[in-house]
Structure formats: C-alpha cells, structure tokens
C-alpha cells in the first residue's frame, strides 16, 4: 500500500474525507450568506451528502459480505 493510501485510510478514507470536506465548505458558504437565507440549499446539500455516504457504505458492506460468501 502506498503512503498516500495509508494516510487516507488513517483519516477515515476517501469517501469520509470528501463528505466532511464538502459539508464544511457548504457550512462556510451558508455562514457567509453565499447560499439562500432560508437554508433550503444548505439542508438539501447536507442531506444529499449524508445520504450518499450512507448508501456508499451499505453498498460496500453488501459487496464485502457477498465476496465472503462466495470464497470457500
């Protein structure tokens, strides 16, 4: 495993860092009033990011379980 992959795994993985980074960026945009004042765009983006992260984990776990079942 290369050093970059090891460092990313130690920080939670690519998917986690992407979710946290995009959520932090969206929070900063909302904080500085660059998104709509009602917070609809912020809410939609955060829910979409969290939903995509959870869906990705479910799909990955399902693939891991399926691979373990087929391995003798």
- Residues 14-50 pLDDT 10s: 888 999 999 999 999 999 999 999 999 999 999 999 9
pLDDT of residue 9: 81
How many CB atoms are located within 10 Å of the residue 72 CB? 2
Residue 16 near residue 57, CB atoms below 8 Å: no
Run of H or E including 46: helix 40-70
pLDDT of residue 52: 93
pLDDT of residue 11: 82
pLDDT of residue 3: 86
Residue 53 near residue 16, CB atoms below 8 Å: yes
Rounded to 5 degrees, φ, ψ at 55 are: -60, -40
Per-domain boundaries in the chain: 14-70
pLDDT of residue 34: 94
- Residues 6 or more apart whose CB falls under 8 angstroms from that of 1 comprise 9
């Amino acid at each position: 495993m290369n050093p970059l992959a090891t460092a990313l795994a130690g920080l939670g993985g690519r998917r986690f860092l992407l979710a946290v980074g995009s959520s932090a960026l969206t929070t900063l945009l909302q904080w500085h009033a660059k998104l709509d004042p009602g917070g609809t765009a912020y809410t939609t983006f955060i829910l979409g990011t969290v939903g995509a992260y959870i869906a990705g984990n479910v799909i990955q776990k399902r693939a891991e379980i399926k691979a373990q079942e087929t391995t003798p």
